[in-house]
Structure 1
Amino acid sequence: MRTVRQLLESKGPEVHAISPDAAVIDAIRLMAEKGIGALVVLEPGGRLAGMVSERDYARKIVLAGRSSRETPVRDIMTADIVTVGLDDAAPACMQLVTERRVRHLPVVVDGEVVGLVSIGDLVKAVIEEQQYELDQLQRYITS
């Protein structure tokens, strides 16, 4: 069973973040530039304030007819987020994203964001684990 630590070791700990006071258009530009669907929102000093995603943009800017140039990230970000630690297991994280209906889990250690795990990372880990178990069963049967 893979842990968040192992997931981050294989994918890297890079986290893209934005300030809650930045304009939403800047968040969307950064997501487009990096080819990602969400950003961690960090207060000055690095405290986790929330997450902002393409979903937030679509629902709270586009559908509401608001201006992405004049609206700060703080106004559309999701502040009530769930975080995980380095020793959390991938299946437990998968359960969290399923139950909370989120796609990203910030990894926090001692109050600092050290990584981000996406639902794609978790699906990949679960598939790899299942493939490993299947291979072991096939070896057992054929030997």
Structure 2
Amino acid sequence: MISVYNRQKDLKICKSSVRALVKATLLYLEIPFQEISVYFVTKEHIANLHHQYFHDPSPTDCISFPLDDTHLGEVFVCPYIAKEYAKKGRLDPYRETMLYIVHSILHLMGWDDLEEKERRAMRKKEKSCMRNLDELRLTLKAS
């Protein structure tokens, strides 16, 4: 089961599109279908989580919390950060948010990006996942 919770107003979120994107990513990564929760939160909420769990009070793009064998985990994504980053790079904020979801799922699977070698491998896997989503013509934008 893919649960989606929208607790922000910075970017319009289509929950069925999020579910399709998450399901496609899990299938592509050959992850047995499990329960996963995706939360879209405000800049303040993500900053609070970042401070509480990582002792860093700054807002961040996404945070993942792996759980157990039956529930893959919880993903917290901040569309405000995606919009700000997209604006600076002239990117699509929906695509940036998609990348944050993919990135978070990879973290749930144990991928890490703290060391340069790991970061390069994770970026390569993210690009591969995003290409797959493009081939499937999946987007977060409501039809």
Question: Higher helix proportion, which one?
Answer: 2
- TM-score normalized by structure 2? 0.27
Higher-Rg structure is 1
- TM-score normalized by structure 1? 0.27
